[in-house]
Amino acid sequence: MSDSTLHPRRAGRGSHADTSTPSTPHPQQTGSACEDAQASTRTLRLTEVFVSLQGETSRVGLPTVFIRLAGCPLRCRWCDTPYSFQGGETVTLTALLAQVAAFGVSTVCVTGGEPLAQKNCLPLLSALCDAGYSVSLETSGALDVSKVDPRVSRIVDIKAPDSGEAARNRWENIAHLTPQDEIKFVLANRADYDWAREVIHAQKLAQVSPVLFSPVQGELPPASLAEWILADRLPVRLQLQLHKVLWGNTPGK
């Protein structure tokens, strides 16, 4: 799951971070023989895997390995990862876990595209949790999140009208969310904001999970969104893209 507000840099597949931690898990050492056999035959379509700082959510600023799975059934107007829509490299779950381990970072974010569009995303998430990683999932909100391993923090989008994909919102997902999950709105203009505010009130979303508001870069000035939130005393968190604040659009950061 990605959009014009969240675009962690590609550090290059197989590159290594200098942020290793002593407690970094080693997935290959944790599975049973049966689990290892399953992992060696399960495959995923992978766009990229890289390390960066998490740019958003309550994990903002943490060194994080990003697994970007290929494919997405949506076409948000402002999406900035259309390169994930097609193609991708086919990798086994075993090989992917080894790639993640090589980065030496204990926090992992599975994103896309729409990661849940691949059936083996669910076993990937569980395998990462079993290996001891702190795992988050970024999803469009259009697919069922109820089968996701409960150890995973689900970052679930609710698509606002200007995305062009509001009809895809799977409202049933809200009943499955908990305070360890997060609900994210990407907003392009005042009409999107007004719509999101009504949804929050109608669905009592602030009582379900933390709610995040992100402005579409280049369309909605962050200061305007901040003023609206303050004027309405809205119980949401404004979030910007930390990595762009730090490095602009420099590749590999």
The one among 13, 16, 26, 75 contacting ligand SF4 by CB under 6 A: 75
Q: Least CB distance from residue 2 to ligand SF4, whole Å?
A: 5
Strand partners, 63: 53
Count Cβ atoms below 10 Å from residue 107 Cβ, excluding itself: 18
If binding is defined by CB under 6 A, does position 192 make contact with ligand SF4? no
In terms of Cβ atoms closer than 10 Å to its own Cβ (0-12, 13-18, 19+), residue 176 is middle
If binding is defined by CB under 6 A, does position 162 make contact with ligand SF4? no
Strand partners, 91: 44
Rounded to 5 degrees, what are φ and ψ at 120? Answer: -85, 5
3-state secondary structure of 244: helix
Name which of residues 112 to 151 contact ligand SF4 (CB under 6 A). 112-114, 140
In terms of Cβ atoms closer than 10 Å to its own Cβ (0-12, 13-18, 19+), residue 24 is middle
253: tokens are: 């950061």
If binding is defined by CB under 6 A, does position 57 make contact with ligand SF4? no
The one among 51, 74, 97, 156 contacting ligand SF4 by CB under 6 A: 74
**97 vs 124, which CB is nearer to ligand SF4?**
124
**101 vs 124, which CB is nearer to ligand SF4?**
124
Name which of residues 27 to 46 contact ligand SF4 (CB under 6 A). none
| Site residues (vs ligand SF4, CB under 6 A) | 1-3, 72, 74-76, 79, 81, 112-114, 140
